[in-house]
A and B are shown apart, each in its own frame.
Chain A
Amino acid sequence: MKKKRSLPGLSPIAPPVDYGALVFAENDFEVVGTDIEKSMAMVRPSISYWRDAWRRLKMNKIAIACLIFIGIMAVGSVLMPLISPFTFREQHWDEVKLPMFTICTEPGAAGIGKLHIFGTDALGRDMWTRVWSGGQVSLFIGLMAAFTNFVLGMPYGLVSGFVGGRVDNVMMRIVEVINGIPYLIVVTLLMVVLPGGVTTIILAMAVVGWTGLARLVRGQVVSIKEQEYVIAAKTMGASRSRLIFRHIMPNTLSVVIVSLTMAIPGAIFTEAFLSFIGIGVQEPAASWGSLCQQAQSSVFMNTYLLLIPAAFICLTMLSLNLFGDALRNVLDPRMRK
């Protein structure tokens, strides 16, 4: 049913209608016509998905604060041990367990007269330097864990999801069996057998850590490959590699990025746990977890030795978790208001 347009002024029969002060005459209106050019023109610049995500992330003050904090931690961990007057392994035998903000008086030390900002530990080592170089180790392990997850889990999930059928079935059953074995138990076992150190920790985490991401990517690929744009590309003769790398992989990235962001605090947690039970990072190297572990012996007397690395872990974890949450909200189109 067509609705008849009844603008009073245009009606051929009706006389001009009086709307109080408003009086329309017949020639008050003219047909504008439809300007195709104009109606199709873009009023606002087109924004890509990533730019839009970044724009919305910037609106989240907490997320930006967390990002800045993580940045400070990362830069500090790289720079602070370099510019500190002390090294992380140098021992000042006359200055054991100094309180915070004590001036170094150790004869013969390179940093004599300089400040031990966080005091010294039970072996007379400068805590400020050790905490930052511990950050180097902890953050590096976190990043590497995310990286190895990506390198192993992403191709596995892509292949499994894309090929499908029997291959997919077998690959996912393998993942299921590996997934059945408790993660920390295997990592602990590997750490007992292999020589301790950062490489071993990363290796141990890589061996069992990738299954989660593989599952996630596979699930994404299975749903994406049935989407119209992929079918269209296929019909137009796109090669398999083009389908995977140009059409499927970029669309899994948002989920992958969130998962990797969350993998970093997870790995730092695991490392702290391993170092805490004494099979993680080996002396004299330090990580936040091993610093907490060393503070164990004098926890009631020199509580700051525990509190400082603990605060570093907690704040970094907090920022990473909050940032990951914000990232998830921003990258998920369903969260758009």
Chain B
Amino acid sequence: MYKFIATRILYTVLALWLLATVTFFMMQAMPGDPFLKPKALPESVAKNVRAKWGLDKPVVIQYLVYLKNAAVGDFGYSYYYKGSRTVAQVIGAGFPASAELGLRSLVLAIFFGLLLGIIAALNSGKFADAFAMFLAILGVSVPAFVLAYLMQYFIAFKFSAALKPLLGFRLFPITGWKSEASKFLPVIALSFGSMATISRLMRSSMLDVITSDYIKTAKAKGLSRNAVILHHMLRNSLLPIVTVLGPMAAAILTGTFVIESIFGVPGMGRLYITSVQNQDYTVIMGTTLFYGAFLIFMNLLVDIAYGLIDPRIRLAD
């Protein structure tokens, strides 16, 4: 088991290093120079500035310095935000809202995904199954931004306006991230795709389990229906779900980009898009590495969790 975890951690470190290296050299390869015209500086000043930022050193040294700084979370200053805000500050300002949005969506997606999958599998071939799977196929076919706009237009705009005379207030605000009501639509829009993925996976994994021999045994020895479902079916069919949690965290995370900019949530995703559009390179590098590290770490956790749950995985390695 320790060997298994150790190899996983090694891959994680390698992946992180690769990501950091790729990021660095891609930024190096970018055309342009901060001291080009029209902000041309006298040669002596430019030399001093270069020296100050370490740009006069060979690329290899710059790379090592960058790696050292990145390891402690120091990505320098934002080009775009005035008043010398560091990238870490910019990220720190956006992180809480994103984390809340992502976490809420994750919980919602897992809960309703499992529920739908279980209902579908237990009623396989009946109406409930068809309905759940229709929802699921819809979920993987509708891009998050389309769903977000549709909800914003029909629910937050039309439906809330129609209800306003009755309630005396707008049920859902169109944008924002303050009241509970304002968090409702973004969370649903973000979780829908993942919910669909989970419910499809849960259904097929449940159906595999239902036909297996140990379920027959459990039934034959006279366990109640609920005991069979809870202790024998659920536990065993949950295994494949654990594997998709890593990619799902990635999907939810990239989903936050669009959901945040559509619903005006002051999070990291919106920040990332604005920095891409403003070509704020230090922030792009910083957020990219932050996101990358976060996801790579998530994958590590999922791998270890899977190894703990299923002995076959760690023995195979």
Distance in Å from the Cβ of A5 to the closest Cβ of chain B? 38
List the A residue with the shortest CB-CB distance to B25. Answer: A193
Interface 0/1 of B124-139, CB less than 8 Å to A: 0000000000000110
Q: Indicate if the CB atoms of B143 and A272 lie closer than 8 Å.
A: yes
Q: Does B277 contact A (CB under 8 A)?
A: yes
Q: Indicate if the CB atoms of A273 and B295 lie closer than 8 Å.
A: no
- Known A-B contacts A184-B250, A292-B146; the reply to A321 vs B141 at CB < 8 A is yes
Q: Indicate if the CB atoms of A181 and B15 lie closer than 8 Å.
A: yes
* Partner among B14, B250, B261 whose Cβ is within 8 Å of the Cβ of A182: B250
Q: Does A167 contact B (CB under 8 A)?
A: no
Q: Indicate if the CB atoms of A192 and B145 lie closer than 8 Å.
A: no
Q: Indicate if the CB atoms of A176 and B143 lie closer than 8 Å.
A: no
Q: Indicate if the CB atoms of B15 and A177 lie closer than 8 Å.
A: yes
Q: Indicate if the CB atoms of A173 and B11 lie closer than 8 Å.
A: yes
**A193 neighbours in B (Cβ, 8 Å):** 26-27, 29-30
| Chain A binder among B37-45, B74-82, B93-101, B284-292 | B284-292
Q: Indicate if the CB atoms of B276 and A310 lie closer than 8 Å.
A: no
Q: Does B157 contact A (CB under 8 A)?
A: yes
Q: Does A278 contact B (CB under 8 A)?
A: yes
Q: When chains A and B are docked, how far (Å) is the Cα of A193 from the Cα of B12?
A: 25
Q: When chains A and B are docked, how far (Å) is the Cα of A183 from the Cα of B19?
A: 11
Q: Does A314 contact B (CB under 8 A)?
A: yes
Q: When chains A and B are docked, how far (Å) is the Cα of A105 from the Cα of B188?
A: 44
- Known A-B contacts A180-B296, A273-B143; the reply to A299 vs B11 at CB < 8 A is no
* Partner among A176, A182, A292 whose Cβ is within 8 Å of the Cβ of B292: A182
Within 8 A of B (CB), among A253-307: 265, 269, 272-273, 276-279, 289, 292, 299-300, 303, 306
Interface 0/1 of A94-131, CB less than 8 Å to B: 00000000000000000000000000000000000000
**B29 neighbours in A (Cβ, 8 Å):** 193
Q: Indicate if the CB atoms of A189 and B250 lie closer than 8 Å.
A: no
Question: Interface residue tally of chain A, by bracket?
Answer: 35 or more
Q: Does A322 contact B (CB under 8 A)?
A: yes
Q: Does B181 contact A (CB under 8 A)?
A: no
Q: When chains A and B are docked, how far (Å) is the Cα of A182 from the Cα of B254?
A: 10
List the B residue with the shortest CB-CB distance to A318. Answer: B141
- Known A-B contacts A181-B15, A273-B254; the reply to A299 vs B153 at CB < 8 A is yes
Q: Indicate if the CB atoms of B284 and A192 lie closer than 8 Å.
A: yes
Q: Does A317 contact B (CB under 8 A)?
A: yes
Q: When chains A and B are docked, how far (Å) is the Cα of A181 from the Cα of B298?
A: 11
Q: Indicate if the CB atoms of B258 and A317 lie closer than 8 Å.
A: no
List the A residue with the shortest CB-CB distance to B136. Answer: A321
**A178 neighbours in B (Cβ, 8 Å):** 15, 18
Q: Indicate if the CB atoms of A279 and B276 lie closer than 8 Å.
A: yes
List the B residue with the shortest CB-CB distance to A190. Answer: B26
Q: Does A68 contact B (CB under 8 A)?
A: no
Q: When chains A and B are docked, how far (Å) is the Cα of A313 from the Cα of B143?
A: 8
Q: Does B242 contact A (CB under 8 A)?
A: no
**B141 neighbours in A (Cβ, 8 Å):** 265, 314, 317-318, 321
Distance in Å from the Cβ of B204 to the closest Cβ of chain A? 11
- Known A-B contacts A180-B15, A181-B15; the reply to A192 vs B143 at CB < 8 A is no
Distance in Å from the Cβ of B71 to the closest Cβ of chain A? 17
Count of chain B residues near A, Cβ 8 A: 42
Q: Does B313 contact A (CB under 8 A)?
A: no
Q: Does B237 contact A (CB under 8 A)?
A: no
Q: When chains A and B are docked, how far (Å) is the Cα of A303 from the Cα of B141?
A: 20
Q: Does A23 contact B (CB under 8 A)?
A: no
* A-B interface contact total, Cβ < 8 Å: 110
Distance in Å from the Cβ of A257 to the closest Cβ of chain B? 19
Q: Indicate if the CB atoms of B276 and A278 lie closer than 8 Å.
A: yes
Q: When chains A and B are docked, how far (Å) is the Cα of A299 from the Cα of B158?
A: 13
Q: Does B299 contact A (CB under 8 A)?
A: yes
- Known A-B contacts A177-B18, A277-B273; the reply to A322 vs B258 at CB < 8 A is no
Q: Does A72 contact B (CB under 8 A)?
A: no
Q: Indicate if the CB atoms of A181 and B276 lie closer than 8 Å.
A: no
Q: Does A17 contact B (CB under 8 A)?
A: no
Interface 0/1 of B246-290, CB less than 8 Å to A: 000010011001100100000000000100110100001000100
- Known A-B contacts A306-B149, A313-B146; the reply to A182 vs B30 at CB < 8 A is no
Q: Does A188 contact B (CB under 8 A)?
A: yes
List the A residue with the shortest CB-CB distance to B257. Answer: A277
Q: Does A185 contact B (CB under 8 A)?
A: yes
List the B residue with the shortest CB-CB distance to A322. Answer: B137
Distance in Å from the Cβ of B180 to the closest Cβ of chain A? 24
Within 8 A of B (CB), among A150-207: 173, 176-178, 180-186, 188-190, 192-193
Q: Indicate if the CB atoms of A300 and B291 lie closer than 8 Å.
A: no
Q: Does B22 contact A (CB under 8 A)?
A: yes
List the A residue with the shortest CB-CB distance to B17. Answer: A177
Q: When chains A and B are docked, how far (Å) is the Cα of A327 from the Cα of B170?
A: 47
**B257 neighbours in A (Cβ, 8 Å):** 273, 277
- Known A-B contacts A180-B11, A273-B254, A303-B153; the reply to A185 vs B27 at CB < 8 A is no
Q: Indicate if the CB atoms of A177 and B14 lie closer than 8 Å.
A: yes
Distance in Å from the Cβ of A262 to the closest Cβ of chain B? 10
**A279 neighbours in B (Cβ, 8 Å):** 276
**B223 neighbours in A (Cβ, 8 Å):** none
* Partner among B11, B18, B26 whose Cβ is within 8 Å of the Cβ of A189: B26
Q: List 15 other contacts, CB 8 Å, given A190-B26, A299-B149.
A: A182-B253, A182-B292, A182-B296, A184-B250, A184-B254, A185-B288, A189-B22, A193-B26, A265-B140, A269-B143, A277-B273, A292-B149, A299-B153, A318-B141, A321-B140
